[in-house]
């Protein structure tokens, strides 16, 4: 019997087949409970598993960490609703992967071009920290996404995204070390690493605009080659 939602999700950008994304998923009890709490506290928020954003046949897949409480968990679109997507979307626009530089909300006309954005963990975790068990449980979706919508290039934003990509591809973590601007040939696709575009990283200078643009430049060249 179909599970009933206790809430209504906002309009989705796209429908995804089961296993690539499941808006009804409640497999992580702690994250499900956190959604329930947040539905009470923030009834205007999306408060559900956040779907990937962008065309299914995109050659570039970007894998982040998890929705932010007042970002993707509010808007229902990855890296949208708070400052976290500012650098990401402006740079995607600069390199021709987006039709506009700012992602405001679902329904704002933003379109990704040959790129798709997803997260290692689809549900907002308390304090922005998913547990290893939650990362492992949610990995099923990324793994399936690689199978049914194989990308040519994957950009991992941060260590958790990098590890999730390796796990989904059944690769040894020790064989591919995370590092900003590192590139790894995984056979099926090339993995590009970047520090996460978080506010902490951009405000402290750990990740600067030129550093992030250099990674997108490499990806752009790789896809055109
Ligand atoms: S994090 Fe992933 S596996 Fe866990 S409940 Fe959310 S969608 Fe399901």
For residue 118, the model assigns a pLDDT of 96
**What's the total number of domains in the chain?**
1
136 C-alpha to ligand 1 centroid (Å) = 10
Question: Is there a domain that residue 20 lies in?
Answer: no
For residue 4, the model assigns a pLDDT of 38
Question: Is there a domain that residue 17 lies in?
Answer: no
124 lines ligand 1 (CB under 6 A): no
Which atom of ligand 1 lies nearest, measured to the CA of 121?
1
31 lines ligand 1 (CB under 6 A): yes
Please tell me the residue having the least CA distance from ligand 1 atom 3.
Answer: 138
Using the 8-state DSSP alphabet, how is residue 119 labeled? E
Block means of pLDDT (10 residues each) for the chain, 225 residues, are 37 61 92 97 96 94 97 96 92 98 94 96 96 96 92 98 97 97 97 96 96 98 96
Question: Is there a domain that residue 39 lies in?
Answer: yes
Which atom of ligand 1 lies nearest, measured to the CA of 66?
1
Which atom of ligand 1 lies nearest, measured to the CA of 140?
3
Question: Is there a domain that residue 69 lies in?
Answer: yes
Other beta carbons within 10 angstroms of residue 122's beta carbon come to 26
For residue 171, the model assigns a pLDDT of 96
Distance CA 43, CA 111 (A): 27
Question: Is there a domain that residue 54 lies in?
Answer: yes
3-state SS of the chain: helix, strand, coil percent to 5?
35, 10, 50
Using the 8-state DSSP alphabet, how is residue 118 labeled? E
For residue 14, the model assigns a pLDDT of 59
Residue 12, judged by CB atoms within 10 A of its CB (0-12, 13-18, 19+), counts as middle
For residue 208, the model assigns a pLDDT of 97
27 C-alpha to ligand 1 centroid (Å) = 6
For residue 7, the model assigns a pLDDT of 35
What pTM value is reported for the model? 0.92
Please tell me the residue having the least CA distance from ligand 1 atom 2.
Answer: 138
For residue 77, the model assigns a pLDDT of 96
Distance CA 114, CA 137 (A): 28
Distance CA 86, CA 106 (A): 15
Question: Is there a domain that residue 24 lies in?
Answer: no
For residue 134, the model assigns a pLDDT of 98
Question: Is there a domain that residue 117 lies in?
Answer: yes
Which residues, listed in sequence order, are joined to residue 190 by a DSSP beta bridge? Answer: 153, 185
For residue 5, the model assigns a pLDDT of 37
142 C-alpha to ligand 1 centroid (Å) = 11
Which residues, listed in sequence order, are joined to residue 116 by a DSSP beta bridge? Answer: 61
Other beta carbons within 10 angstroms of residue 41's beta carbon come to 9
CB-based contacts of 93: which residues, under 8 Å, 6+ apart? 99, 100, 101
Range of 150's domain? 29-224
Question: Is there a domain that residue 184 lies in?
Answer: yes
CATH number of the domain bearing residue 95? 3.40.470.10
137 lines ligand 1 (CB under 6 A): yes
Sheet of 60-64, strands arranged across:
115-119, 60-64, 153-157, 190-194, 183-185
Reading the block at residue 155, the tokens are: 């950009």
Residue tagged 């934003």 (tokens): 157
């Amino acid at each position: 019997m179909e599970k009933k939602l206790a809430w209504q999700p906002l309009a989705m950008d796209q429908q995804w087949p089961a296993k690539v994304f499941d808006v009804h998923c409640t497999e992580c009890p702690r994250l499900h409970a956190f959604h329930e709490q947040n539905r009470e506290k923030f009834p205007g928020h999306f408060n559900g598993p956040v779907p990937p954003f962008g065309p299914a046949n995109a050659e570039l897949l970007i894998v982040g960490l998890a929705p932010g409480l007042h970002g993707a968990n509010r808007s229902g679109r990855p890296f949208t609703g708070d400052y976290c997507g500012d650098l990401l979307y402006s740079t995607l626009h600069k390199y021709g992967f987006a039709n506009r530089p700012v992602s405001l909300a679902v329904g704002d006309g933003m379109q990704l071009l040959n790129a798709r954005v997803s997260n290692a963990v689809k549900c907002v975790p308390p304090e922005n920290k998913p547990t290893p068990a939650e990362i492992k449980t949610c990995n099923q979706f990324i793994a399936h996404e690689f199978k049914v919508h194989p990308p040519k290039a994957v950009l991992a934003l941060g260590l958790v995204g990098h590890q999730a990509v390796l796990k989904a591809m059944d690769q040894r973590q020790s064989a591919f070390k995370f590092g900003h601007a590192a590139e790894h040939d995984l056979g099926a696709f090339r993995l590009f690493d970047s520090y996460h575009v978080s506010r902490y990283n951009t405000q402290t200078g750990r990740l600067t605009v030129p550093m992030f643009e250099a990674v997108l430049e490499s990806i752009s060249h790789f896809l055109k080659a």
